[in-house]
Chains A and B, each alone.
Chain A
Amino acid sequence: MAFLFRNKQKSHPELVKSTKELTVRLSEDAKPNPKVEEELARDLQQMKIRLQGTPGTALLSLTAPAHPPIVLQAAKAPGADGSAEAEVNTESVFQLLSYIIQEDLLYLLANNIHKLPFESRKDAQVIFSTAFRYKPAGASDPQVLHHVIQYRPEIIIALCRGYDRRESAMPCGGVLREALKYDSIAALLLYDEPTSDGKTRDLASVNPDIPSSGQGVFWRFFDWIDKGAFEVSADAFNTFRDILTKHKALVAAYLQTNFDMFFSKYNNVLIQSESYVTKRQSIKLLGEILLDRANYSVMTQYVDSGEHLKIIMKLLRDDRRMINYEGFHVFKVFVANPNKSIAVQRILISNREKLLRFLPGFLDDRTEDEQFIDEKSFLIRQIEQLPPAPVPPQAAS
């Protein structure tokens, strides 16, 4: 069969149409249908190749650019600006993408990615990534992504919901993190709210001063991180981190508006998670968020709270060393703060003796970590110099 098909190539519209039909059938069938799966897998693979070229052709045309001998951890794409796309016909890619948009295939795929066969999920991921990356020659705007943000934000939300299932978590996560280069995607996720008609809110209608209801897709991340298999949870955390760290101004404003809800969830679900990985990663991320300049006002608000300090001080006594270590980097912010709140001062003063006994031996095998040693002795000095009784902070009004 496949033999006969080889010569008879489907045209772009035919390919998109047939992919769409098959995906609809797949989503409707309760039982897995091997025949539909097989045909769909072929279509998706074909679509991927048309968008991206095949490894063979790509390699043949590959000329080794002169790279400086430096070690990069990430893959290096020579010509991410589109020039490397030379061997696939840009005109043809544009046409294919237009049909894909026209048929709303991306939305359908995003919702059914977990039902696709194993290899097709990866093909779908490539199709999404290539589509989202696509820029017409000379344009700085990713055209397809632009369209999605403006007219079909549901696709982005549907991709997030990929974390509901192990099968779809990683392809969806990969696409999301790539799209999160753009702040509008982060905004879309942060300000998502459930609506009566099931449609995703238009970004233009968002008022950043109104606190979130806590029902939007962003808040689901706490569940996805805390529950589920290691891969899902770890991947969801990576996306969560990207949302919170990639676009600083946006996030700073968001965290200020939603301070209480965010930190109560963060503390209860993540910092005090049963899962070691979640706990450790989230303490580290907390430190990163607080120490970011852009989040200065969030940080001051955070370190004013005695409750937060208690949670962090308990981490110092955890019986897992890396938890202690990550906790230390949040604890230091409380102590180093020159304008400590009364609540924070009270806790530190009533624990002064204990802290002074505890800190010198705290993680004392980290002998090669000079920054840590310096910071530790700085904290000890600060605690020694605490006043005997809490004094109102100067900045307090």
Chain B
Amino acid sequence: MTAPDNLRYTPDHEWVRLEGNMITVGITDHAQSELSDVVFVELPDMGDLEKGAACAVVESVKAASDIYAPLSGEIVEINLDLVADPAKVNTDPYDGGWIFKMRLDDVSQVDALMDASSYTSLVR
């Protein structure tokens, strides 16, 4: 299992990459490996979301899993590549398998998320 040092993590197994006031969100290597065989991703609608709101669904052959807004902000972009190729969530979880981008009003929220070593000890 990998968990890159430059990302932040939630207890729901999402990763967050901060660039300026924007975050990119996906599910972790651990999460994709537990789910296995992602066959469908229901992408979120654009717009404002409160932290913790269920906004997307990742479906593997075995189960449907909700994806939550890791922080409060506005969804401004979704990964349309996942419509044709949902398995990218498995094969490239931290890059091509990203799910959505959010604009944050308050960037300091990111500090409350786990760093790579805390996340790694959570799932170990």
B is bound to A = no
